[in-house]
A and B are shown apart, each in its own frame.
Chain A
Amino acid sequence: MTIWLIIIAAGLGTYLIRLSGILLLRDEERIPVPVRRALRHVGPAAMGAIIASALFLDHGQWRALGAWHLAALVAIGVALWRRSQGWSMLAGGLAFAVLIAAGLS
């Protein structure tokens, strides 16, 4: 029973968070200009934070240098070279598979 309570409460809370900005900030003119300018950077800020958190940390501790970082470098390099999501994922995934198969972690 508790698990259903947890899922429904977390789902409801998350849905309200998702709706917060789009329902409350209907009039763009009323958002202060500095906030509006900052919000335009949410994409790179969030992506950067999530990538760094996943690559450098593992449950709050440093992740040891290895396959994760090398494969990420490959994905970043190919993304900059081809400017393509698909090629970046393919190259990063293949590099990671090869490194793992070679015994790195």
Chain B
Amino acid sequence: MESFGARARAGCTLAPCHTRRVSPTPAQPRSRAVLGIGRQQWTDAWAGCKAISPLMVGSAMFGLAFGALVNVAGINPWAGASASVIVVAGASQFAMVEAIRANAPAIIAILTAVLINARFALYSAALAPVWAAFPLRWKLLLGYLMTDQAAVTQLQWADRYPDPVARRWFALGGAFPFVAVWVVGTVVGIVLGPVIPEAWQIDFIVPLMFIAVLVPGLKKPAELVTVGVATVVVVAARALPFGLNVLLAIVVAMSAGSAFESWSDARAGRRGTPAAASGGDEVSP
């Protein structure tokens, strides 16, 4: 990871970097290509894989649990495995299987899944400037591989990868293996069935994974406000159907975090502290 320190120290913020056209990495691209992919690209992809690797354990276990559910629900195993490839979103797949199991109309099952996944529109909007310089086929591929974990990891690391070529390989190196272990976990779960006893409550892996994504990077007061508001809203709105309390909580918390940041920036500005010099729209270092 040390070799990337120099790039990180360049202190490049998101806004100016993605608009600048950076030519592909000049370092000997042809001579040491493996599978037609240059050495530097492998390095960037490997860094992406390492950044998400602790979460891959969670992805595999959650896949195993989904496969086991498909198995006990008596759902066509091919359809169950395909769901992990076609939908690629755990929580919505669990909800779909529950809906099918409860003999809900097809439209309800579809609607449930789509509403649970509506939060991806927010990641997509947040990633738009991060991916702006990527070729269209990369956007289509990385869009397919978008998960909560990969999206948040990419948002956290974007500043350290100002070069769009390095950035897209970093993104793919994290997103692809994460989805791959999810699919493998699903297939193994379908074949083996519920090998993990229900008493073990394997679904604890969900909050655990997201704590591991969120908490190590928590520093700024605005982030604490955002997390606090999200917690209060998701619990207060628990009566909403289709997981809409989660969606509502995300939107309200984003706005609250942003409002708090504006307020604290303005207050710092009045006091003349250096923080105000960073200005409104830049990501503060």
Contact = CB atoms under 8 A, between A and B. Distances in A.
The 10 closest A-B pairs by CB, nearest first: A21-B124, A48-B230, A21-B125, A11-B86, A79-B215, A48-B227, A41-B257, A47-B214, A45-B253, A10-B113
* Most chain B Cβ neighbours within 10 Å, of A9, A31, A57, A60: A9
Contacts of A20: 121, 124-125
B92 A14 contact: yes
A102 interface: no
B39 interface: no
A47 to B, nearest CB: 4
B208 to A, nearest CB: 5
Interface string B208-223: 1111111111100011
B117 A51 contact: no
A25 B200 contact: no
B126 A52 contact: no
Given A44-B223, A89-B55, 13 more contacts: A2-B106, A11-B87, A17-B114, A18-B124, A44-B214, A47-B230, A52-B235, A54-B207, A72-B211, A89-B54, A92-B211, A97-B200, A105-B201
Interface of B: 15, 53-55, 57-58, 75-76, 79, 82-83, 86-89, 92, 96, 100, 106, 109-110, 113-114, 117-129, 131-132, 139-140, 143-144, 146, 148, 151-152, 155-156, 199-201, 203-218, 222-223, 226-231, 233-235, 238-239, 243, 245-246, 249-251, 253-255, 257-258, 261-262, 280-281, 283
Interface in A1-19: 2-11, 13-15, 17-19
Interface in A28-45: 28, 31, 33-45
B152 A43 contact: yes
B7 to A, nearest CB: 20
Nearest to A41: B257
A23 B211 CA distance: 30
Interface string A80-105: 10111110110011001100100001
Contacts of A56: 231, 234-235
A14 B88 contact: yes
B87 A14 contact: yes
A48 B226 contact: yes
B50 to A, nearest CB: 10
Contacts of A76: 211, 215
B283 A40 contact: yes
Contacts of A96: 201, 204, 208
Contacts of A37: 258, 261-262, 280-281
A49 interface: yes
A41 B253 contact: yes
Contacts of A35: 125
A42 B155 contact: yes
A9 B253 contact: no
B127 A44 contact: no
Contacts of B86: 7-8, 10-11
B124 A14 contact: no
A47 B152 contact: yes
A68 to B, nearest CB: 6
B96 A40 contact: no
